Amino acid sequence: MLDYYREHQEEFLEGLKAWLRIPSISTLPEHAADVRRAAEFLRDQLEAAGLSSAEIIEGNGHPLVYAEWLGAPGKPTLLLYGHYDVQPPDPLEEWKSPPFEPEIRDSNLYARGASDDKGQTWILVKAVEGLLKTRGRLPVNVRFLVEGEEESGGGHITAYVASRPPRLAADAAVICDTEMFAAGLPTICVGLRGIVYAEIDVQGAKRDLHSGLYGGAAPNPLQALAEIVCALKDREGRIHIPGFYDRVRPPSPKELEAWRRLPFDEQRYRDEELGVPDLVGEPGYSVFERTWARPTFEVHGIRGGFTGEGAKTVIPARATAKVSMRLVADQQPQEAAEQLRQAVAAVCPRGVRAEVRVLHSAGPSLVDPENPFVRAAAESLTETFGKETVFVRSGGSIPIVGVFQQHLGIPSVLMGFGLPDDNLHAPNEKFHLPNLWRGIEAVARYLEKLGQ
């Protein structure tokens, strides 16, 4: 079986590159047809891999891709999850090679989606293909469910899973959409932050105003947004949204101790990975606590006024901030959204009206490292990489984990093969190719281990 993988490396790579060339940007309506093409491409791949019932599942939003192999009665059933949609590529001018023309440089494959998440979904597809092509069967039952709205927060998969269709019956989910703690260090992610993504709209005067004629007496929605944002988070990184921290569950002393043993050079993280003069964030918490176990409030963009070249002296009638709150166990998205609404109303400056509009949200998740599906995954990774698997959390949000838990009652095993410098959501996203091959091997071992 491992021979099959080695012999088909070139073909696997060309297949992945073909998939990456499809700009399946789920958040931009003009790319809807590309998103569908990426779904159909995957369906065809799953069919060619030897799975049955490969099909597109339509719904409200970008389609789901489903396929199954259920020829191992009495064995566990895994729900294999990934997503075929990608983030927008802007700012385009910062890409060294175009985002949708995959290019290999120094053992890395550069393209939007290379790591997040086409490359990692490819691991699941090709691991299964290898087993089916060489043995004609799998050691366990599998069901693929791959979505196209992970980056846009669309609700199709949630609605589908919530309808609890019989074809999603499974014992555990496997998700390849996280990263390894360090190159060569096998990693399972046991915790994810949730998210509330919202827009704060501020309305000032009924029309744009000349800042010379009205400046000094007229409210400025951009200034008001700055005031709101600063009122919600202070210079120390503390979030001033009443009630926001109430449900935050601190990590256990054992987990904190394990985090302290992780290889981590804070100075290198600051100077090289980020390239900033100082890290920021809440005093009294380590970087891992700040990014894994503490909630955040971030501004992602402020629209309004004039941002082109040159000078325009306008006081805009309105302005909008795109913001998110990352949530940790046991915060609840709807409650946090309501807390944000109330906090914005409370701190809104005079002269303007502010409104919060939630775009999407997802709960945080935590899984138990002692779960047998997690343990088997850790062993498979350890055997493949030749190093003890570490358990970490991620500060990112994979809403589907909470959805699987809530509606299917199954835990998710997060085996990630991305690297910290893969430039997720940023220009020059890449996937480290050795991790593609080891990832395929580790997943194959995992299925075998679970089938024993």
- Of 337-366, binders to its own copies (CB under 8 A) are 349-353, 359-360
**Contacting residues for 231 by C-beta, under 8 A, at least 6 apart:** 240, 343, 347
Min CB(417)–its own copies separation in Å: 15
Distance from CA of residue 359 to its chain's centroid?
Answer: 16
Among 37, 322, 375, 449, binds its own copies (CB under 8 A): 322
Decide if residue 27 touches its own copies (CB under 8 A): yes
Give the C-alpha distances (Å, rounded to integers) separating 434 from 51, 117, 264: 26, 16, 22
Nearer to its own copies (CB atom), residue 76 or residue 304: 304
Q: Which of residues 195 and 367 has its CB atom nearest to its own copies in the complex?
A: 195
Inter-CA distances, 302 with 232, 306, 451, Å: 15, 11, 52
Among residues 24, 45, 87, 158, which is the contact residue for its own copies, using CB under 8 A? 87
Residue 449 in the binding site for its own copies (CB under 8 A)? no
- Which of 209, 381, 390, 401 contacts its own copies by CB under 8 A? 209
**Which amino acid type is present at position 261?**
R
Rounded-to-integer distance, Cα 321 and Cα 356, Å: 10
- Using CB under 8 A, which residues numbered 243 to 282 contact its own copies? 274-282
Among 105, 257, 426, 434, binds its own copies (CB under 8 A): 426
Answer yes or no: are the C-beta atoms of 141 and 71 closer than 8 Å: yes
Site residues (CB under 8 A) for its own copies, limited to 363-382: none
Question: Which tokens sit at 218?
Answer: 């007229």
Residue 99 Cβ, how far from its own copies at the closest point, in Å? 13
Q: Can residue 332 be called a binding residue for its own copies (CB under 8 A)?
A: no
Phi, psi of 105 (to 5 degrees): -135, 125
Total Cβ atoms within 10 A of residue 173:
25
Binding to its own copies by residue 291, rule CB under 8 A? yes
Q: Give the one residue of 1, 56, 182, 218 binding its own copies; rule: CB under 8 A.
A: 218
CA nearest to 204, candidates 226, 221, 179: 221
Q: In the window 127-186, what residues touch its own copies (CB under 8 A)? A: 152-153, 179
Taking CB under 8 A as the binding criterion, the range among 49-57, 97-105, 286-294, 444-452 that sits at the site for its own copies is 286-294
Contacts 24+ apart (CB under 8 A), 88-96: 88/25, 88/27, 88/28, 89/23, 89/25, 89/427, 91/427, 92/427, 94/427, 94/428, 95/427, 95/428, 96/428
Q: Is 312 in the site for its own copies (CB under 8 A)?
A: yes
| Shortest reach from residue 116's CB to its own copies, in Å | 9
- Enclosing H/E stretch for 158: helix 156-162
Smallest gap from residue 442 Cβ to its own copies (A)? 22
Q: Can residue 307 be called a binding residue for its own copies (CB under 8 A)?
A: yes
What is the bridge-based pairing of β-strands 430-432 and 412-415?
unpaired
Cβ distance to its own copies smaller for residue 43 or 294: 294
342 token code pair:
């109330």
Nearer to its own copies, 249 or 300 (CB): 300
Nearest to its own copies of 21, 353 (CB atom): 353
Rule CB under 8 A: choose which of 395, 405, 449, 451 binds its own copies.
395
Q: How far apart are the first and last CA of the chain?
A: 17
Size of the site for its own copies (CB under 8 A): 96
Is 89 or 139 the residue whose CB approaches its own copies more closely?
Answer: 89
- Complex with its own copies: residue 384 or 428, whichever CB lies closer: 428
Least spacing, CB of residue 354 vs its own copies, in Å: 11
β-strand 187-192 against 390-394: which pairing, if any? Answer: parallel
